[in-house]
């Protein structure tokens, strides 16, 4: 069974700082990896989707990488803003997802 | 991307009553829908997988008689929490997919509070 781990569990940074969130997984036989944002009490907002054959995806200030051989993915956030404060989840799979425990990010103005 | 709508977004019910949560695919036919549960400070855990027109498949430890799932049409799946108890209070979220898709699309989630 796929196990997904996210480190760190919580992160607090000053506004403007660049940061990296980590996701590791045990089974490299995946269809895709997806990074989500979850605001308190809300659903999931998809940020980036990396297909199994891809190594990275970029959207604005976000860049996600995927290394299946090492079972790792990173989400890089450039020039963080207070509005980036949320919980970030990585999910692996195809249509059924296995989720990590999330990283709670706080960006301090 | 495809749109999945979940309703209600929040519900408070009394202990012992039943609550129904709906998950609709608005612009595609969802042959498969997934129901997840998230307890405070924990990750999303798959509860069950429902395929249109057939019985749902439940994950280990999930009581199928307590969490009734119906997927009677290609655009609607429902999760009914029967005889709800305070420990059922959680965040429930659905996702939907179609044949050949490698991506799932998520509803907005439902915050259930049982008092």
Question: Cβ of A94 and B102 within 8 Å?
Answer: yes
Question: Cβ of A101 and B95 within 8 Å?
Answer: no
Residue B31 contacts A where some CB pair is shorter than 8 Å:
no
Beta bridge partners of A45: A37
Q: What are A's interface residues with B at a Cβ cutoff of 8 A?
A: 4, 31-32, 34, 36, 41-44, 46, 49, 51, 89, 91, 93-102
Residue A95 above 70 pLDDT? no
More confident residue, B43 or A6: A6
Residue A88 above 70 pLDDT? yes
**Separation between Cα atoms, residue B75 and residue B32, nearest integer Å:** 10
Question: Cβ of B103 and A89 within 8 Å?
Answer: no
Q: Which of B85, B87, B90, B97 is nearest to B23 (CA)?
A: B97
Residue A97 above 90 pLDDT? no
Residue A37 above 70 pLDDT? yes
**Which residues of chain A have a CB within 8 Å of the CB of B43?**
4, 89, 99-102
Q: What is the pLDDT of residues B46-104, one digit of tens each?
A: 999 998 888 899 999 999 999 999 988 999 999 999 999 999 999 999 998 888 777 77
> What residues contact B24, with CB distance under 8 A and at least 6 apart?
B4, B5, B6, B7, B75, B76
| A80-103 core/surface letters (b: 16 or more CB in 10 A; e: else) | beeebbbbbbbbbbebbbbbbbbb
Q: Which of B4, B3, B13 is nearest to B80 (CA)?
A: B13
DSSP state of B33: E
Question: Cβ of A42 and B108 within 8 Å?
Answer: yes
What average pLDDT is seen over chain A? 92
What the block records as the tokens of B99 is 């044949």
Task: Work out the pLDDT band at A94, boundaries 50, 70, 90.
Answer: low
| A5-17 core/surface letters (b: 16 or more CB in 10 A; e: else) | bbeeeebebeeee
């Amino acid at each position: 069974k796929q196990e997904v781990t996210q480190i760190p569990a919580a992160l607090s940074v000053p506004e403007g700082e660049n940061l990296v969130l980590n996701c590791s997984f045990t089974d490299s036989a995946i269809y895709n990896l997806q990074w989500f944002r979850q605001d308190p009490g809300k659903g999931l907002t998809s940020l980036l989707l990396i297909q199994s054959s891809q190594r990275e995806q970029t959207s604005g200030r976000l860049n996600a990488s995927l290394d299946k051989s090492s079972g790792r993915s990173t989400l890089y956030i450039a020039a963080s803003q207070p509005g980036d404060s949320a919980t970030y989840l990585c999910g692996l799979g195809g249509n059924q997802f296995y989720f990590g425990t999330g990283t709670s990010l706080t960006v301090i103005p | 991307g495809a749109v999945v709508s979940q309703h209600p977004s929040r519900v408070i019910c009394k202990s012992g009553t039943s609550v129904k949560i709906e998950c609709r695919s608005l612009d595609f036919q969802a042959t498969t829908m997934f129901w997840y549960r998230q307890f405070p400070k924990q990750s999303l855990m798959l509860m069950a997988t429902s395929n249109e027109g057939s019985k749902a498949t439940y994950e280990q430890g999930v009581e199928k008689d307590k969490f009734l799932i119906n997927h009677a049409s290609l655009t609607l799946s429902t999760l009914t929490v029967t005889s709800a108890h305070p420990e059922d209070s959680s965040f429930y979220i659905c996702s939907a997919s179609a044949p050949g898709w490698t991506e799932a699309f998520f509803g907005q989630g439902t915050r259930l509070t049982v008092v």
